[in-house]
Structure 1
Amino acid sequence: MRRANLFTMLSAYKPGGPATPFENYCTSALAYLLMRGHRMLRALFAQAAGAGSEPLADVEVQPRLGDAGMADLLLTYEGGKRAVVEVHLEASGPTAHLVAFEEVGKGWYVPPAFILLGLGLEPPPPPWRPLTWWEVVDALEDDPDPLAQEFAEFLLQDVLGQGPVPLEQALSTNRLYALGAAAIRRRFGAKARCVNSASPPMQGRYRYLGTTFSLGDGDPTFWIGIVNEQLPLSEHYHLMLASKERPLESPAPKPRAAGNWNWPYWTGLGRVVRPLTIEAYDELLRRIPT
């Protein structure tokens, strides 16, 4: 196994592949822990790969697989078994490019395993095997390494949307997006579709920051998140829900910071003065007529 430097790995990114910078950041952190030999984490991936007790020989982030382009992660075991790992952080990540990886794998001497690491809301297309971030967290739960514990905490809060989000973290991390998606899925189920959406930042401040979503497979017609209290932009935000088509319960005026955003229906919970929680989101989501 090659020697790994965490900071070099986290700063490395090859544009042009299917992975976003944030997805690659999470993949690189995961790869680092696999390289470091964390036993339960390695066992989790070995089981998914069908590698049994074979030792892990190499871990590659964003390897190029022939004409198929860059994969997110490639694991190679000492017996020759390889596993191509596709990493998703959102419920409906792209899958059309996976067929090209399967074609490349047909030419390998030892047939590879194909693993889709994601939220686990929908089964992946065969021959891809499902693995979830929840399982990664469970594998790291009793790991004595403080770095492994920090990564598990990061996954819970920044990817899986668990725990309260202070306003300063909402403005500077992925936690508000993760919280919004988790609240929407909890309220409306796995069929809800979420897209991170925010206005361009201006000196660290936003007009709005949150999640556009649909209740099924249709176009997204709802938005939930934080909206700046005034123009010029201030340090204060309100937690609000907007609807493009349906009137909402407990209506509120459209905020000035929404600008020319012409969605007519709004409701809110007032100024954000304490950490944002999934319960506060749910209180707003219940105002959508069903």
Structure 2
Amino acid sequence: MVDREFVANRCICCESDQLHRSPAVLMPFVALRVFGHEPVEITPEWGLRDLRQGTAYTLCNSLQCQECGALFLDYRFTDEQMSALYRDYRGTEYNAQRIRFEPGYVNVVPHYHQRAAYLTQVQAWLAPRLPEAPAVLDWGGDTGVNSLFRDHHRLLHIHDISGVELVPGAERADPELISCTHYDLVTCSQVLEHVAFPADVVRQMLPAIGEGTLLYLEVPHEALVREHPGSLELAPLKRHWHEHVNFFSEEAMRRLLRQLNLELVDVLHLPVDVGWTRGEVLGVLARAL
């Protein structure tokens, strides 16, 4: 298991200690929510003889694993810090605070309450491997608005710490019953890029993955990774970090599965247009060995 240290010294996907590092900054919105840091202007009035004047931001490092290519922020936020960062997620306070630092975010907010169009293509990719009406567990599924097979399932359970109201037809998963329920599909989409220890998050899902269960993990295939395929020199190119604290290569996802004794079934690379930006998602389909 990855050491739970505040500053990473091993890869979050394969546990290698062969890491390249390069200095970067933590974006002000995240630094404020996590550490209570605001950008500060160092002026002559400070009377600091040996520091240059100018704006000071929260410093960090970009780390890239030289074994699997995973690129990630060196800070591994604690549970309390993660709770602070995602408090009132996309709510009134959260949006106002973020717009103060990032005025363009006002154009993003309306899209978060709409179902992503690309999910139809993901379902079409998965459907031939599943029953006509699958039993689905969506890990980190929020309200269920973007749950796979939301409108065509035998059951849809959602495990999410937010406690938000679920879409019609979805039920909140009971952690005590997950291991006793047969799921055809366990999904975790657009979650692992946010968390401090992605392997630990997937490990929590393992009791739900029985014989015949498929696991679908989806992360953004970030532009920096796509534009430099196979490169192990990405750390100097990643100068800032925001909410996505992990950038995954396909090899990194393969190593993550291997670490957890999961067998890779297939890989999906899918271009997406989510309304305010275009990109690509990287999906891996796996099953228990």
With the length of structure 1 as denominator, give the TM-score of the two structures: 0.25
Identify the structure with bigger relative contact order (alpha carbons < 8 Å, sequence gap 6+): 2
Identify the structure with the greater strand proportion: 2
Larger-gyration structure (1/2): 1
Specify which structure has the higher proportion of helix. Answer: 1
Query: What TM-score, normalized by structure 2, do the two folds share?
Result: 0.25
